[in-house]
A and B are shown apart, each in its own frame.
Chain A
Amino acid sequence: MMNDDRIQALARDFRHHDEGLDVAFEVYRELREGCPVGFSEHYGGFWFVTRFDDIHRIEQDPETFAVSPGMLLPPMGNERPGVPIDIDPPMHGKYRRVMLPAFSPQQIDRLEPMVRRSAIGLLDTFAHERAVDVAARYAVPFPMVVFCELAGLPTDESGKLEDWINRIFYVRTHDYDSTLRAAAELTSYITSVLESRKGEEPRDDLFGRLLTAEIDGRRLTDEELADYGFILVVAGLDTTAWVLRSSLWYLAQHPEDRAKLHEQPELVATAVEEFLRCLSSVQGMARTVTRDVDLNGHTLRKGDRVLLVFGAGNRDEAKFPDGDRIVIDRQPNPHVAFGAGIHRCMGSNLARRELRVALEEFLIRYPDFSLASGSDPVWYGIDPLPLMLDGSGRA
Chain B
Amino acid sequence: MTPVRVEVDGQRCQGHNRCVIACPEVFESDEYGYSVVKLPEVGPELEPQVRLAEADCPENAITVERASTTG
Contact = CB atoms under 8 A, between A and B. Distances in A.
Interface in A329-372: 331-336, 338, 340-342, 344, 348-349
B58 A335 contact: yes
A100 B15 contact: yes
Contacts of A101: 31-33
Contacts of B31: 101, 104, 106
Interface stretch (B1-9, B39-47, B49-57, B63-71): B49-57
A341 B20 CA distance: 18
A103 interface: yes
Contacts of B17: 105, 348-349
Determine the main DSSP class of A at the interface with B: helix
Interface size class of A (residues with CB under 8 A): 20 to 34
Contacts of A104: 15, 29-33
Contacts of B55: 331-332, 334
A16 B18 CA distance: 27
B54 to A, nearest CB: 8
A103 B56 contact: no
A334 B14 CA distance: 13
Contact of A334 (B30, B33, B56): B56
Interface string B6-30: 0000000011111011000000011
Nearest to A103: B33
A106 B15 CA distance: 12
A341 B61 CA distance: 11
A342 B29 contact: no
A340 B56 CA distance: 12
A97 interface: yes
Given A104-B31, A342-B14, A349-B33, A331 B20 contact: no
A61 to B, nearest CB: 13
Nearest to A101: B31
B34 to A, nearest CB: 8
Contact of A100 (B32, B52, B56, B58): B32
Nearest to B18: A334
A100 B14 CA distance: 11
A341 B14 contact: yes
Nearest to A337: B58
B52 A344 contact: no
Contacts of B58: 56, 334-336, 340, 344
Contacts of B32: 97, 100-101, 104
A293 to B, nearest CB: 22
A334 B57 contact: yes
Contacts of A338: 16
Interface of A: 56, 97, 100-101, 103-106, 269, 331-336, 338, 340-342, 344, 348-349
27 contacts: A100-B15, A100-B32, A100-B33, A101-B31, A104-B15, A104-B29, A105-B20, A105-B33, A106-B29, A269-B21, A331-B55, A331-B56, A332-B52, A332-B55, A334-B55, A334-B56, A334-B57, A334-B58, A335-B58, A338-B16, A340-B14, A340-B16, A340-B59, A341-B14, A341-B59, A344-B16, A348-B17
What are the 4 tightest A-B residue pairs by CB atom distance, in nearest-first order? A332-B55, A104-B33, A100-B32, A344-B14
